[in-house]
Amino acid sequence: MLNRKVSLLLLILSLSWATTAVLAQQGQQPLTNADVVKMVKSGLPASVISNAIQANDTDFDVSANGLIALQKAGVPQAVMDAMISASSKKRSGAAAASSAPAAAPAAAATLPNGGQLAVTVAQGGKSVALPLQKTQLAQTKSKASSLGALATDSAVNQAFQVGVNEAAWQAWSHGGGYGTYSGVTAGASVMSGIMGHRKPTVTYVWALPGPSAGNALENSPNFDVTFTGIPGINEEEYEPAIVKLTPTSNNWRLVGASQGKADTMQDSSANWEVYSSYVEEKVPVRASKLGSGHVQISPASPLAAGQYGVVLRPRNKSKRFAGTDVANNQGEGLIFNSVFSFAVK
């Protein structure tokens, strides 16, 4: 019994020494993918590595290629989850820090294409601009019955875990085909059992990275929404809305979901009725139109604690979109994919 206790003590001391040695080698430098792989190769438990990630500054590559390399190096999923969580928090903090006070409606940001798309809110006696975020997309064979059900869908969580980012969608939509998309997700494609020529109907899921928005607002905010001069956009066809976001177990916030063909993102013709079958949690609002593409909205009743977003939605649910616009965040797709997220404590 004594020998067993001594052996256990020596094991604990050796693990602690190994952790200290790895971290000491990098001094004050943030943890990187290489550091994590080094700790895994040293035999450290996943719990120890995850704690080290939480306790240190990080600079991880959690792109599709980065995660693929980690998986090939034998990094456990729990450790990759911790890396993604750390990166998401870092990104959310940077987004919150970048938002600065401005006067409405002059706070409207000028987009690269010359249009204006912005949301400001009164906060602490000042008008603060909310950061514009673009959603990321995933596919699943599950039907979009509710965002709560999709939040626990293993296929959806796996797709976002691998990192189906904007660059991957753009590569796929520019002639890569379904095979290229499967390669980008390293065999973790949620549609791996479906051949491209069959063109089945699937569920597309829109989500934002990170467990929470970087900014917290009061429960009855008043938003000033500007969406003007965007090429290909008729302001009268859209209206702002407030939607409740649904968190997932792996630190994403689901915005909505809709059905479409598996090759929809390659279709440049405007024939996808995205919003006709769209599932989202809309909040009743009061709206006041100040001009074309300029609307003020506020919730009809105080918001409960949670995650929310200001979005733009078609007035006509049967409005048609081009899949390539949605894939490339351009024109109608830019409008539909944009979210100005916030939290209510």
pLDDT of residue 26: 45
Q: Position 341: which residue type?
A: S
Residue 180 pLDDT class (50, 70, 90 cuts): very low
Q: Where are the domains of the chain?
A: 2-95, 101-344
Peptide bond into 211 cis (omega under 30): no
Q: List phi, psi (to 5°) of 177.
A: 75, 175
Rg, Å, the chain Cα set:
22
pLDDT of residue 89: 75
What's the whole-model pTM score?
A: 0.62
Does residue 306 have a pLDDT over 70? yes
Whose structure tokens read 């000033």?
Answer: 224
Does residue 14 have a pLDDT over 80? no
Residue 259 pLDDT class (50, 70, 90 cuts): very high
Does residue 50 contact residue 84 with C-beta atoms inside 8 Å? no
Chain segment 98-129, per-residue pLDDT in tens: 443 333 333 344 455 567 899 999 877 888 99
Sheet holding 223-228, edge to edge: 126-129, 116-123, 223-228, 294-299, 285-291
Residue 260: exposure state from Cβ atoms within 10 A (0-12, 13-18, ≥19): buried
